């Protein structure tokens, strides 16, 4: 991010182009279907938000560097170059109007994985100095402080003490040889610290041995969002080092979308070697416990609930059935959104969009898509499993005068645990 220049940006664009990218650009027939998959287009009607269009700078580099005819045309001076001006123009398309939700990738008739390419184009944009300031700040804090929001260990320790007082349970820190290392997103530590209490209760109930690491507690990976793989790799290395030091069997990714994508799917590829521990999303683990009969719940939510699929966990992450299994345990009236599961609509705030104040107006405008989904089924409350989706859903509901709470799935499970031996837990 320091030494940003157009030259470095173009070099990064070249580096990220692989066979899939080349096949995608070769196959695009400009049918425009991807626009209809993207809430940034459907809610604004502005064709510049067409997903494949957001990739124009990368497409030009592909054509001019990796196709015979394109190289020939470039040599003759017939091709349109990638300039700083072009990247300035594209910055808002690549960062403000895309969450890498991947819905376009599910719909393109020729099979283009556009979100895959957005992740890659950000590498070039960032290297050329064209990333939003909010994201740059977050990434710098992540590297120097260990958290994109500047959460330091004493703050986490204060939250832990509070949780211990509230629950009467000890929160294990730096315990070796346990089954799982729990990561936490700064969003959870700052805005939804009750998540820690929920985990503590559930794990005591189910008999899971776990710990937090004082050296690597952060789940969020800003490197992924801004598109700087070296930084993303460094953040992953910290977690790997902690997991290996504590000799855990698995690492748990909490309720944060991009954190899961970063550690579960990108992690080993970023650092260039497989992990010698498992990575699970908290929902995967909870569902495993449910299957093993170690998660006993009592009483059910009677209010009409629906589930918002966080894109990076569901469509891009593959954790689709588990939240539904868990919700069916604790909900009497669970109704799916129209277009659900891997085809659910993005909340509009992931992938760095909510960190970017410049994108606020657009982000709230496109929430209208989620609103329409909710209007169709009229739930009493929304359940989800990503802190960023959660806060943004709350913001959007407020903006559109819709009165319904947004609940965390993990916290909801914790509320319904059977057994009355925990201080503060609901009596059954």
Partner 1 sequence: MTEVTNDAEFRKALDSLDATRQRLVAARFVENVVALCSDKRIARVIQVASDSEAGEEELAEALKAARATTFDCHTRCGSEGDWSEQAGYFVARAATAALTPMAQMPSGPAWQAALSSRMAQTSRSIVTGDDTSGQEVIQQYRILSEFLDS
Partner 2 sequence: MSETEFLLWVRGPALQGATIIFLLGVVVRILEILVLGRKPNLAEARGSAVAGGLRTIISRSFADRGTLQRTAFTEITGWIFHIGFFVTLFLFAPHILLFEEVLGVSWPALPTTIIDVTTIITIIALLAVLIHRIGNRVMRFLSRFQDYLVWLVTILPMLTGYIAFHRVGLSPNMLIAIHILSVELLMVVFPFTKLMHAFTLFMSRYYNGAIAGYRGVNS
428 token code pair: 């059954």
Among partner 2, partner 1, none, what does residue 26 contact (CB within 5–8 Å per kind)? partner 2
Nearer to partner 2 (CB atom), residue 337 or residue 406: 337
* CA separation, residue 122 to residues 13, 237, 261, 389 (Å): 9, 21, 16, 22
x/- contact string, 289-328, with partner 1 (CB under 8 A)? ------------x-x-------------------------
Q: Decide if 374 contacts 337 (C-beta within 8 A).
A: yes
Site for partner 2 in 65-124 (CB under 8 A): 66-69, 105-113, 116
Does the footprint of partner 2 cover residue 376 (CB under 8 A)? no
Site for partner 2 in 267-286 (CB under 8 A): 267-269, 272-275, 278-279
Q: What is the β-pairing status of strands 278-281 and 180-182?
A: unpaired
Does the footprint of partner 1 cover residue 186 (CB under 8 A)? yes
* Contact with partner 1 (CB under 8 A) among 88, 405, 418, 428: 405
Q: Decide if 161 contacts 190 (C-beta within 8 A).
A: no
CB of 367 to partner 2, least distance (A): 18
CA 295 to chain centre: 26
Q: What is the β-pairing status of strands 305-307 and 381-384?
A: parallel
Q: Decide if 305 contacts 340 (C-beta within 8 A).
A: no
Among partner 2, partner 1, none, what does residue 298 contact (CB within 5–8 Å per kind)? none
Among partner 1, partner 2, none, what does residue 423 contact (CB within 5–8 Å per kind)? partner 1
Nearer to partner 1 (CB atom), residue 139 or residue 314: 139
365 token code pair: 């405008």
Stated length of the chain: 428
Minimal CA–CA distance to 273: which of 303, 246, 233?
Answer: 233
Helix (H, G, I), strand (E, B) or coil at 97: coil
Residues 6+ away with beta carbon under 8 Å from 65: 14, 17, 71
- Residues that contact partner 2, how many (by CB under 8 A): 62
Among partner 1, partner 2, none, what does residue 325 contact (CB within 5–8 Å per kind)? none
Q: Which residues of the shown chain bind partner 1 in the complex (CB under 8 A)? A: 134-135, 137-138, 141, 148-151, 154-155, 158-159, 161-162, 165-166, 168, 186-187, 190-191, 193-194, 220, 222, 225, 301, 303, 349, 352, 354-355, 357, 380-381, 387-388, 391, 394-395, 398, 403-405, 415, 423-424, 426-427
């Amino acid at each position: 991010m320091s030494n940003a220049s157009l030259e470095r940006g173009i070099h990064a664009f070249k580096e990220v182009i692989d066979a899939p990218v080349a096949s995608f650009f070769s196959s695009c027939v400009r049918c425009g279907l991807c626009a209809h998959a993207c809430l940034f287009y459907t809610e604004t009607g502005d064709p510049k938000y067409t997903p494949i269009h957001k990739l124009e700078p990368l497409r030009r580099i592909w054509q001019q560097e990796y196709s015979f005819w394109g190289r020939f045309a470039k040599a003759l001076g017939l091709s349109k170059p990638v300039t700083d001006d072009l990247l300035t123009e594209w910055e808002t398309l690549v960062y403000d109007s895309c969450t890498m939700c991947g819905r376009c990738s599910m719909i393109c008739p020729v099979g283009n994985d556009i979100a895959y390419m957005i992740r890659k184009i950000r590498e070039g944009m960032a290297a050329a100095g064209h990333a939003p300031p909010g994201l740059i700040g977050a990434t710098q804090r992540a590297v120097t402080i260990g958290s994109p929001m500047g959460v330091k260990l004493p703050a986490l320790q204060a939250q832990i003490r509070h949780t211990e007082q509230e629950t009467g349970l000890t929160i294990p820190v730096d315990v070796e040889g346990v089954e799982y290392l729990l990561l936490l997103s700064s969003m959870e530590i700052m805005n939804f610290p009750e998540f820690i209490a929920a985990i503590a209760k559930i794990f005591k109930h189910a008999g899971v041995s776990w710990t937090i690491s004082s050296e690597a507690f952060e789940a969020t990976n800003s490197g992924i969002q801004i598109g700087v793989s070296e930084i993303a790799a460094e953040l992953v290395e910290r977690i790997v080092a902690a997991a290996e030091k504590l000799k855990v069997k698995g690492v748990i990714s909490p309720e944060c979308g991009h954190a899961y994508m970063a550690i579960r799917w990108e992690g080993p590829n970023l650092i260039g070697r497989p992990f010698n521990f498992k990575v699970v999303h908290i929902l995967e683990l909870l569902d495993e416990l449910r299957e093993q009969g170690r998660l006993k719940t009592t009483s059910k939510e009677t209010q009409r609930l629906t589930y918002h699929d966080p894109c990076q966990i569901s469509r891009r992450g593959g954790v689709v059935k588990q939240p539904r299994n868990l919700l069916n345990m604790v909900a009497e009236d669970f109704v799916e959104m129209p277009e659900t599961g891997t085809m659910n609509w993005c909340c509009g705030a992931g992938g760095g969009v909510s960190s970017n104040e410049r994108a606020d107006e657009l982000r709230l405008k496109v929430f209208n898509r989620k609103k329409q989904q909710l209007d169709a089924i009229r739930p009493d409350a929304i359940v989800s499993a990503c802190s960023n989706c959660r806060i943004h859903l709350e913001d959007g509901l407020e903006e559109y005068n819709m009165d319904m709470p947004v609940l965390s799935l993990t916290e909801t499970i914790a509320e319904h645990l059977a057994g009355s031996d925990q201080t503060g837990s609901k009596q059954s």
